Amino acid sequence: MVAEDGLLAEMHALRDRVTGITGSALASRDGLIIKADTEINQDNLAALAATSLGLAQRMAREVGQGALREAVTRSSGGYVAIYAVGSTAVLILTGDEGLNIARLHRESRAAVDRIETMLAGASAVQTGSR
Amino acid sequence: MGTQEPADDASGPPPSLRQALKDCAAAGLSGVLEVTGEPGGTICFSGGGVVAVETPGAPSTEVILLRSGRIAEADWAAAFAAASAGGYAIGPELVIRGLIGAGELEAVLRVAVADAMFVLSGGLVEECRAEPGTVDSQFALEPPAEVGWLLAEASRRMRVLASSRALVEHDRDRMAAAPGAVQPGVLLGQGQDEILALANGRRTARDMAFALGQGVYATTLQLVRMYGAGLLVTASQRAVTLAEQAQASRPAAVPVSEPEAPSPLPRRHKGRAQHRRESDSDAGADLPSLLRLLRPRSGGE
């Protein structure tokens, strides 16, 4: 399916462009995996990411800090960055301790927008709205 | 500075980086040199000497100490908390607590700084910007490293890798275990088993260095040997446009697509300890005495 190949290509490209990204996954907002490029258990990752994103967005609203850009979990062994992709999906990126955070911020926005466009195109085909 | 530096050649550190470092040294800079590029990084100076280098392309001293298992995470956390509360750097606290010897820590720092400079030198440098001021880095090399020595060492490492029969690009080639390389119940030793376990087609030498807590250069040497011996294959290459442009401007380094006959024996350098998993004992003739202080690694974990 063309759309899925494009998704994986986009995720691979992001991993190539940003030093330190170790893997990525794309999941639906209800916690089901759409596409994954990771060694980590995809189903667990998808479920946790959907929940995390929801909590992070609630937190941003609660403290009145505007729209959530990304939710980053930083641990002794690396990072997890979670992005909302439109209103229907979640992008999860994992990185090691050397993750180039500055470059990640620069590259992730455009990547998220491209992925959102691909998903919108795929669902338009599916619902026969063409 | 009294350090022999090879004439500028296309296979060494980029001229802009080389010049910027010399300028900082000549000016006696205390502050940072920000290097933008891929991977780019920050070089911290004190009185014209380099005390630290930070880059996404090479493991920091913290990563080296923790991931190699040299210092336990709980001990590190306690030392970090105490140092933070006291308002000083973690290095002295680690020594005070007996978690690492002062000499060993200095050796690790020197290896990490040289490794980071090697990675910066082999990457793409877009711009170098010096910013005087106080430096706030987690570890500071004392005495600071001379720019001349760092540049000469980076050049030497780049030449060593470029002249290897089996070429592995440390930030580009994603390595996988060759079919049959991993056999149940068979241990290869010398760190090769750990490398094979990490070589899943996703990781570059840089990625493995982070996972193992050792230098990128030392890791790349291991991969070169294993690639030459047919234990590893290149699964894919990282498509980084900027780095490709940088490579295109250098003398051709043609990647080998299939394992060749075993590579010739590595050249012996004075003080070099073969097959030491985390050591970077190839780092120069003035280091052997410091490196002997490194805790000997037994095989396996």
Range of the domain at A73: 2-125
Q: Is the pLDDT higher at B15 or at B251?
A: B15
- Domain ranges in chain B? 15-162, 173-264
Q: What is the pLDDT of residue A3?
A: 59
Please state which of the ranges A37-41, B88-92, B233-237, B288-292 shows the lowest mean pLDDT: B288-292
In A, minimum Cα distance to B56 occurs at: A98
Question: What integer best gives the mean pLDDT of chain B?
Answer: 83
- E strand intervals along chain B: 31-38, 41-46, 49-54, 124-132, 173-177, 200-203, 232-237
Among candidates B149, B144, B150, which has minimal Cα distance to B47?
B144
Sign of CA dihedral B103, B107, B108, B110: positive
Q: Token match 């029969």: residue? A: B165
Is B202's CB within 8 Å of A96's CB? no
Q: What is the DSSP annotation of B243-280?
A: HHHHHHTSS--PPPSS--SPPPPPPP-TTPPTT-SS--
Is A98's CB within 8 Å of B55's CB? yes
Is A39's CB within 8 Å of B202's CB? yes
Q: Alpha carbon of A78 to those of A75, B164, B195: distances in Å?
A: 5, 32, 20
- A23-69 confidence digits (pLDDT tens): 999 999 999 999 999 999 999 999 999 999 999 999 999 999 999 99
Q: What is the pLDDT of residue B242?
A: 54
- B169-223 confidence digits (pLDDT tens): 999 999 999 999 988 889 999 999 999 999 999 999 999 999 999 999 999 999 9
Q: Is A101 a domain residue? A: yes
Is B60's CB within 8 Å of A97's CB? yes
Q: Is A130 a domain residue? A: no
Q: Alpha carbon of A58 to those of B45, B71, B197: distances in Å?
A: 43, 38, 40
| Minimal CA separation from A100 to chain B, in Å | 6
B240–chain A Cβ distance below 8 A for any pair = yes
Give the integer Cα–Cα distance in Å for B188 and B192: 6
In this complex, the residue of B39, B40, B210 whose CB is nearest that of residue A96 is B210
B214–chain A Cβ distance below 8 A for any pair = no
Q: What is the CATH number of the domain that holds A106?
A: 3.30.450.30
pLDDT at B74 > cutoff 90: yes
Tell me how crowded residue A106 is: count the other CB atoms within 10 A of its CB.
Answer: 12
Q: In terms of pTM, does the model score above 0.90? A: no
Q: How many residues does chain A have?
A: 130
Is A97's CB within 8 Å of B207's CB? no
Q: Using DSSP, how many helices (H) and how many strands (E) does chain B show? A: 11, 7
Among A72-81, B10-19, B279-288, which range has the highest average pLDDT? A72-81
The total number of structural domains in chain A stands at 1
Tell me how crowded residue B275 is: count the other CB atoms within 10 A of its CB.
Answer: 14
**Whether the Cβ atoms of residue B38 and residue A19 lie closer than 8 Å to each other:** yes
Residues of B in contact with A97 (CB under 8 A): 59-60, 62-63, 210
Question: What does the pLDDT average to over B143-150?
Answer: 96
**Whether the Cβ atoms of residue B258 and residue B278 lie closer than 8 Å to each other:** no
Three-state DSSP state, B47: coil
Q: What is the pLDDT of residue B245?
A: 56
Q: What is the pLDDT of residue A122?
A: 79
- A73-98 confidence digits (pLDDT tens): 999 999 999 999 999 999 999 999 99
- B135-145 confidence digits (pLDDT tens): 888 899 999 99
B54–chain A Cβ distance below 8 A for any pair = no
Size of interface A-B (CB pairs under 8 A): 44
Q: What is the pLDDT of residue B279?
A: 41
In this complex, the residue of B63, B200, B206 whose CB is nearest that of residue A39 is B200
Q: Alpha carbon of A8 to those of A35, B112, B186: distances in Å?
A: 7, 35, 36
